[in-house]
Chain A
Amino acid sequence: MNNVNYIGQTLKNLFSKPATVKYPFEPREFPERTRGHVENDMDVCILCGLCQMRCPTGAITVDKKGQTWAIRPFSCIQCRSCVDNCPKKSLSMGQQYQEPGTEKIEKKFDLSDKQKEALAEQARIAVEKAAAAKAAMEAKKKAEAEAAAKATEAAGSTADVKG
């Protein structure tokens, strides 16, 4: 009678708790590494566009002019490529899976006011630096030209003396 072997297990299953999680009454506990969806910290993002370049499905759009960062969650394959390539670590993986929807939406995020100011400040500093560098370069060129003129002048005078 080999077919009674499994009866013990069947009875155990009959009187034990269900093996499944009673979702949605019990929330699912995710492990730390679960790749659910992509999150962006708009206080840290510098809109460099590397995530857009590295996204294999082209789900991310970075608008530098409009200062927005957008993701199409139904195109995202949760590969973590953008998170790995983010230079400022503003991107991270959230654990909760993407919620279902009736249409393929695009989620758009504006840069935070603080970050907008910071970026504007950085841009201003960069412009100033560039202007200063340009001025320094021009001054250097001028000085070089003057020195060269002087040298030719001096050479001319020595030639005169020699002559």
Chain B
Amino acid sequence: MSSRSVIPFGPQHPVLPEPIHLDLVLEDEKVVEAVPSIGFVHRGLESLVTKKDFKEMVYVAERICGICSFGHGFGYCDAVEHIMDIEVTERANYLRTILFEMSRMHSHILWLGLMADAFGFESLFMDTWRIREKVLDMLEAATGGRVIFSILDVGGLRRDIPDDMLKSFLPVLDEIEKELAIDVKAFLNDSAVKSRLCGVGFLSAEQVEKLGCCGPFLRGSGVKRDSRKLGYAAYDDIDFEIITSDDCDTYGRTFVRAQEILQSISIIRQAIEKVPAGEVMVPVKGFPKGEHMTRIEQPRGEACYYVKANGTKFLERMRVRTPTFANIPALTETLQGCSLSDVPILVVAIDPCISCTER
């Protein structure tokens, strides 16, 4: 029997987009155990809720993470709106759906690029990120920010997005769909890519359920669960199917994410077609009192937002359960028994967002 050695992996590593530290216990080239540790980017954003006005807190919630920025702002606003019994207008709901799907697109395209980088396909990485730039341009035109949108507010949206601007996004979406098809084909059919993805990090449907995974990681193992089907914002009126894969490995997860980008394009098209006219903001009076928990589907998986208010302008408690936190047990599970060269791929496969997880 060979002797065991421990390799520290991260928090700074060329393949890692964010700081997570893993202690990899190796036997030759094989990982026998992985011990994750986080805590490098903790900023104490949840406790800020007692020091910031509940409306100012939207800006803090948006800054929990750069990629899921819109989702965090939305989850927080949705929870406060439920406490205050605010009915958001139809138009605001549709515009929120459009922006949410655009941020899902940019998150998933970013992930495809990171994955290509992890298995060493640099031109595919560059190409996916070139396409992502178009999504960011649309978001900047609509909201004024590339990643931090500052358009959400309790009661609706702070600015309306005019109909002609929404219509001008349609040709860009067609272009993205066309260009993305080439990259998706490379991800799903290229034999070099397949040799790095197929069979890596196998977790059966029972295992992912037991480990409490969420998001594309869960759906990549064939479990049909998507919080968008709960029908928040305008998802009730939009026709879409939950995408799953029965491969149960990293290839399946890549397939789910790639298909979800195309699905997001279809959702945005439907929403632009159906968006009704009207106001986007409802006047908000008084202070919230009570508690509520909201579940939404972030690009990385299901996120929960718990807000407790006591009738003053400062809230009492806010808690966010982020999708990466739920997927870390699955990461340690998949790392056991893998080869050292597969570690980057398996870490990227859960789409780790450590800023979200630590807040």
* Chain A residues in the interface with B (C-beta under 8 A): 1-3, 5-6, 9-10, 13, 19, 30-35, 56, 77-81, 84, 93
Is A80 in contact with B144, judged by CB distance below 8 angstroms? yes
Closest-CB distance, B43 to chain A (whole angstroms): 14
We find that the number of chain B residues with CB closer than 8 angstroms to chain A is: 31
C-beta contact mask, B190-231 vs A, less than 8 Å → 1, else 0?
111010000000000000000000000000000000000000
B59 in the interface, Cβ–Cβ < 8 Å?
A: yes
Is A84 in contact with B158, judged by CB distance below 8 angstroms? yes
Closest-CB distance, B273 to chain A (whole angstroms): 23
- List 19 contacting pairs A-B, 8 Å CB cutoff, sorted by A: A2-B194, A3-B190, A5-B185, A5-B189, A6-B185, A6-B186, A9-B127, A30-B140, A31-B140, A31-B144, A33-B140, A35-B145, A56-B52, A56-B56, A56-B60, A77-B59, A77-B148, A78-B150, A80-B150
Is B158 in contact with A80, judged by CB distance below 8 angstroms? yes
Report the separation of the CA atoms of residues A10 and B186 in the bound assembly, to the nearest whole angstrom. Answer: 11
* Chain B residues in the interface with A (C-beta under 8 A): 52, 56, 59-60, 63, 123-124, 126-127, 130, 133, 137, 140-145, 148, 150, 158-159, 182-183, 185-186, 189-192, 194
Closest-CB distance, B352 to chain A (whole angstroms): 25
Is A56 in contact with B141, judged by CB distance below 8 angstroms? no
Closest-CB distance, B113 to chain A (whole angstroms): 13
Is A33 in contact with B144, judged by CB distance below 8 angstroms? yes
Report the separation of the CA atoms of residues A22 and B192 in the bound assembly, to the nearest whole angstrom. Answer: 33
Is B158 in contact with A9, judged by CB distance below 8 angstroms? no
Contacts A33-B140, A78-B148 given; 17 further ones with Cβ under 8 A?
A: A1-B191, A2-B189, A2-B190, A6-B124, A9-B182, A9-B186, A13-B126, A33-B141, A33-B143, A34-B140, A77-B59, A77-B63, A78-B145, A78-B150, A79-B150, A80-B144, A80-B158
Minimum CB distance partner of A14 in chain B = B123
| Chain B residues with CB under 8 A of A93 | 144
| Chain A residues with CB under 8 A of B182 | 6, 9
Minimum CB distance partner of A8 in chain B = B182
Closest-CB distance, A147 to chain B (whole angstroms): 45
Report the separation of the CA atoms of residues A79 and B58 in the bound assembly, to the nearest whole angstrom. Answer: 10
Minimum CB distance partner of B133 in chain A = A19
Closest-CB distance, B181 to chain A (whole angstroms): 11
Closest-CB distance, B336 to chain A (whole angstroms): 30
User: Known contacts being A13-B123, A80-B158, is A35 close to B144, with CB within 8 Å?
Assistant: yes
Report the separation of the CA atoms of residues A58 and B158 in the bound assembly, to the nearest whole angstrom. Answer: 20
